[in-house]
Chains A and B, each alone.
Chain A
Amino acid sequence: MHKYSLLLAILVWFCIWGALKWVNPPIPGSVMTLFMSIATVSILVFIMADENRYNSFLAPILKLLTEDQLFVPRVFLLTLFPLFMGWVTYERIRPRFDPPYEGRTIHPEAPSTFRFQGKSFDVLNTTNPLRDPAELTNFKDNLREGKSIYFLNCAFCHGDLLDGNGHFSAAFNPLPANFRDIGTISQLEETYVFWRTATGGPGLPMGATPWNSSMPVWQDFLSEKEIWQVVLYIYDASGSTPRTWE
């Protein structure tokens, strides 16, 4: 097997690439680059780990670069390689109509306090009052209210199924949050979700590109209780549990 180290390395590389390309929906380019870099380095590590493997990997390359009878393929390769790099460069810099990649912070840090309808709201120490033991008797009513508020205000973007696939969603970039995704509200405390709902896109810090969110400032339209009710509803309906620290 050592004899075919170079060939096997190329074959394994293409097998990994093919398997990743086969994933549906397609893996974004940034992650593909990351995975293929790891695959390339790992293959090289495997080759370098053994002297025979290493020598037989290098042998055909050295042969191609040094032996007289391989002059034609050498010239062919040395011409093809810069052309290939030129094509890669062209592909990277040619004008495109797609917006560029954007490093956007999805869960930016919440402030410790923010202004809510003229008063100070403590993000760090507040809990959802509708989960107080005294309020539990009204839990179903609060959920029903939350559902009603959600379908009157939120469902158009976040979808009937809370999957971020509402009627208007296709018009937005970034897309509305999918509450069923375990990477969204399950990762957050309820006060965090309250802050995001209350202050909307304009309340985001700079790292989260506040100009790039269509989320309205819901404190201008809903009361504090209504926001808590809708927060309660989206957790319940999506089957998520709010994050807690204790």
Chain B
Amino acid sequence: MANPSNDFSWAAALAGVRNGIVKISILLVVVYAVISLVGLFLEPADYRQFPLIESRVIIWCIAQGHLMFGAFVLGVPIFVLIAEIIGVASKSEQYDRMAKEFTRLLAMSYTLTAFLGGLLLIGLMLLYPRFVIHMRTVFEPTWFWYLAIIFMEVFFAYLYWYSWDLLKNRKGLHIFIGVMVNLFGLAILLMTNAWTGYMMTPEGVEGRDIAITVTDRLQAFTNYTWIPLNIHRFIANVCFGGAIVGAYAAFRFLCAESDEERARFDWMGYVGSFIAVSAFIPLPFAGYYFGMEIYHYSQQMGVSMMGGSFAQLWYLQAILIGALFLGINLYLWLGMNRIPGGERYRKFQIAILVVIATGFAVWATPHSISATVAEMRAMGGTHHPKLGVLGLMSAKNTAVNMMILATFLNFMLYRRGNMVATTRWSMAGKTAQLVGILATVGIVVGYGIYGYFVPIGVSVGFSVYMVLAVLGCIFLFLLIEFPMYKGARSLGEIQWGKMPERSQYVLFFLAVSFTWLMGLMGYIRSGIRQYWHVYGVMQDTSTGAFTPTHGFATGVVSVIVFVFFLLIAMVFALAMRSERKEQRAS
């Protein structure tokens, strides 16, 4: 892709935008031509078999890959825009430069997203034609709008990139273009989630299979899981985007040849991970809401997800999220080493680590323990008399809330690293914060224990109070924190770039873990439909309509993650090349 700085003219910028649109148009024409041409030589069929690899697996890989790139190109513009606005408000070149750096990654990822989207369309049309007929019956009118929105998104995204330097003195207009990128991105998210949500929780149709009548298209669009899926994916996209740009910064940090470059990419990695972690904290709550809605739509689907054949995969999820919490806190502790005064807070490391490690252990303790007959006899059943209590939701809700609280506190200590509060009421403020934290711990642990003495339906409801207590504590803490540290005495500037290399591998770990989690959770969400294309409405009668073994499924997820990182590494390399070109040109 050409660089906006190479030629500071609107003609060049518009040519870049035109090329972007032409590229997408050619891709769509190719997709249409392939489907039409191949369709001429194929016999009509409900399903077709892909050579060597099972059709379902090939569609799974392409769809997940498309979704990952889609999440990246929809998530990143949100914080690019925020960074640009902060840059304008604080008159900081640094933020503007970082926002541009992120956008550079974005622009290159659009092509890959569109390419994978095209492949997915070809795959579905050729391998699952009957399913496509069903979806067309329900959603055909939305397809035109989808295409129109894609073109608008591409138009604004390329314009946003190519006009970066041209509009550097008219930031308001550039920010407006950024807003448009985000609005059209959001529209794409809402539309695709309607299709996915419909497949899980269909509404607004009567009949079965392809003999259906659409009774209420709007209801089919705004189906039961549409809103929770939108919320969950929106937050997850931001989190995922932050983690990937964090990995990019880590890659650049490790390749850096000067202290200045190291400082720049250290800061960028910190911002990327900060965005990922900030979005990560509310993500379990959004996931919980999504899961609750699935239960409410179909208890059978809910039990499949949490208690049935997919239950074991949640332990994998718990292990990954627990490891993510450890990784995030390690990154913060390593970061404190470059903050003058950060050593004052080293004494809290053990306490925070104990909370995180204990929470991790509780969260990952299985409800149904894999054990030999001898072990089961010793336990007196499949539930350990002492550990059994840790396998239930009350314990797990307590654990996750305590881990979130501990991580938040660690971040606050990091933030205070080089500051000494000078306000007269700082002691009273800190005491109030301590009381708030202790009260929250009391509420979370108290409800956690009380949950064992009430019916399960009641204890599930306690999770809402726990979440509200934690969020309330965070809110009140910050409400005191900001004015308390206003005008604080500085113990020295943060020494950006003075990070050990292992800290950058933590950023890689975060990015890979987030991506793997996304693949795993996507599989669970899709897998709980079991042998239905559209749950309860259109059955999957192909040879691949069975739930694969966990080993196979996690293997496929790993392959997808591996290929995704190969492709994203290519994006990183192209971004570096583009930047070098820009430097040479200037």
Inter-chain contact B376/A35, CB cutoff 8 Å: no
The verdict on B500 contacting chain A, using a C-beta distance below 8 Å, is: yes
Q: Which residues of B contact A245 (CB under 8 A)?
A: 295-296, 299, 457
How far does the Cβ of A121 sit from chain B's closest Cβ, in whole Å? Answer: 14
Given contacts A108-B308, A245-B295, contact A28 B370 (CB under 8 A): yes
Contact in complex: B353, A28 (CB < 8 Å): no
Q: Give how many A-B residue pairs fall within 8 Å (CB-CB).
A: 173
List B contacts of A186 (CB < 8 A): 455-456
Does A104 count as interface, using CB distance less than 8 angstroms? Answer: yes
Task: Contact check, B382 vs A175: say whether CB atoms are below 8 A apart.
Answer: yes
Please name all residues of chain B whose beta carbon is closer than 8 Å to the beta carbon of A30 when the two chains form the complex.
366, 369-371
Question: CB-defined interface of B353-379 with A at 8 Å, one 1/0 digit per residue?
Answer: 100110011001111111111111111
B interface size (C-beta, 8 A): 65
With A28-B375, A173-B376, A244-B457 known to touch, is A107 a contact of B386 (CB < 8 Å)? no
- Please measure, in the bound complex, the distance between the C-alpha atom of A177 and the C-alpha atom of B376, giving whole angstroms: 12
Query: Does B322 reach chain A (CB closer than 8 Å)?
Result: yes
Selected interface stretch from B35-43, B68-76, B148-156, B329-337: B329-337
Q: B392 contacts A183, CB within 8 Å?
A: yes
Structural contact, A109 and B330, CB atoms closer than 8 A: no
Give Cα distance in the complex from A104 to B457, angstroms: 25
Q: Which residues of A contact B581 (CB under 8 A)?
A: none
Q: How far is the CA of A102 from the CA of B375 in the complex (A)?
A: 12
A97 to B300, CA, bound (A): 38
- Which A206-246 residues sit within 8 Å CB-CB of chain B? 207, 241-246
Q: CB-CB contacts of A92-104 with B at 8 A, as 1s and 0s?
A: 0000001111111
Cβ–Cβ < 8 Å partners of A98 in chain B = 372-374
For chain B, what secondary structure do more than half of its interface residues adopt (helix, strand, loop), or is it mixed? helix
- A residues less than 8 Å from B366 (CB atoms): 30-31
Whether the Cβ atoms of B369 and A105 lie closer than 8 Å is: no
> A175 contacts B380, CB within 8 Å?
yes
| Residue B137 CB within 8 A of the other chain | no
Which of A27, A38, A103 is in CB contact (< 8 Å) with B357?
A: A38
User: Per-residue 0/1 for A76-111: is the Cβ within 8 Å of any B Cβ (1 yes, 0 no)?
Assistant: 000000000000000000000011111111111111
Q: Whose C-beta in chain A lies nearest to the C-beta of B296?
A: A245
Q: Which of B301, B386, B456 contacts A23 (CB 8 A)?
A: B386
* A34-B364, A181-B388 known; A243+B456 contact, CB < 8 A: yes
Answer whether residue A56 sits at the interface, using C-beta atoms and an 8 A cutoff: no
CA distance A164 to B381 in the complex (A): 8
A72 located at the interface, meaning its Cβ lies under 8 Å from any Cβ of chain B in the complex: no
The residue that B370 contacts in the complex, of A48, A102, A242, with Cβ under 8 A, is A102
A18 to B301 CA separation, bound complex (whole angstroms): 41
Given A101-B371, A175-B376, the answer on whether A109 and B384 have CB atoms closer than 8 Å is no
Is B112 engaged at the interface, CB distance under 8 Å to the other chain?
no
Is A129 at the interface (CB under 8 A from chain B)?
A: no
B326 interface residue (CB < 8 Å to A):
yes
- Taking a contact as CB atoms under 8 Å apart, the answer to whether B304 and A109 are in contact is yes
Q: Are A50 and B333 also in contact (CB < 8 A) when A42-B326, A110-B303 are?
A: yes
B307 contacts A107, CB within 8 Å?
A: yes
Q: Give bound CA distance, A107 to B378, whole Å.
A: 22
From known contacts A41-B326, A49-B333, infer whether A26 and B378 are also in contact, taking CB-CB under 8 Å. yes
Asked if B115 CB lies within 8 Å of chain A CBs, one says no
In the bound complex, CA of A186 to CA of B393 (Å): 12
Indicate if the CB atoms of A29 and B375 lie closer than 8 Å. Answer: yes
Residue of B nearest to A102 (CB): B370
Q: Which of B304, B349, B367, B386 contacts A49 (CB 8 A)?
A: B349
Question: With A25-B384, A98-B372, A110-B303 as given contacts, are A187 and B337 in contact (CB-CB < 8 Å)?
Answer: no
Which parts of B475-500 form the interface with A (CB within 8 Å)? 500
| 162-208 of chain A: CB within 8 A of chain B | 163-165, 170, 173-175, 177-178, 181-184, 186-187, 189, 205, 207
A17 at the interface (CB under 8 A from B): no
Report chain A residues within 8 Å CB of B369.
28, 30-31
Given A28-B379, A45-B329, are A104 and B337 also a contact pair (CB < 8 Å)?
Answer: no
- Is B388 touching A183 in the complex (CB atoms < 8 A)? yes
Chain A residue with minimal CB distance to B312?
A103
Q: In the complex the two chains form, is A108's CB within 8 Å of B307's CB?
A: yes
Can you list, as one digit per residue, whether each of B311-335 has a CB less than 8 Å from chain A (1) or not (0)?
A: 1100000010011001001100110
Residue interface bits A32-43, CB-to-B below 8 A is 1, else 0:
001100110110
Given contacts A173-B373, A174-B376, contact A105 B364 (CB under 8 A): no
Task: Report yes or no: B307 in contact with A105, Cβ–Cβ below 8 A.
Answer: yes
Which of chain A's residues has its CB closest to B337's CB? A51
Q: Is A109 within 8 A of B383, CB to CB?
A: no
Known contacts A50-B333, A165-B380, A241-B456: does B303 contact A107 (CB below 8 Å)?
A: yes
Are B364's CB and A182's CB within 8 A? no
B360 to chain A, nearest CB (A): 5
A35 to B298, CA, bound (A): 34
- Please tell me which one of the listed residues B299, B303, B380 contacts residue A25 in the complex, with CB atoms under 8 A apart: B380
Which one, B337, B350, B381, contacts A178 given CB within 8 A?
A: B381
Q: List 21 A-B contacts (CB under 8 A).
A: A25-B379, A25-B380, A31-B387, A34-B361, A41-B326, A42-B360, A45-B353, A46-B349, A46-B353, A48-B334, A49-B349, A104-B382, A105-B307, A105-B308, A105-B368, A173-B376, A182-B392, A183-B383, A244-B457, A245-B295, A245-B457
Chain B residues packing against A (C-beta within 8 Å): 295-296, 298-301, 303-304, 307-309, 311-312, 319, 322-323, 326, 329-330, 333-334, 337, 346, 349-350, 353, 356-357, 360-361, 364-389, 391-392, 452, 455-457, 500, 502, 550
User: Which 8 residue pairs are nearest across A and B when measured between Cβ atoms?
Assistant: A49-B333, A109-B308, A241-B455, A28-B371, A42-B357, A106-B368, A207-B309, A107-B307
Question: 9 extra interchain contacts, Cβ-Cβ under 8 A, other than A39-B357, A109-B303?
Answer: A29-B371, A38-B361, A45-B353, A51-B500, A99-B373, A103-B550, A124-B299, A186-B456, A207-B309
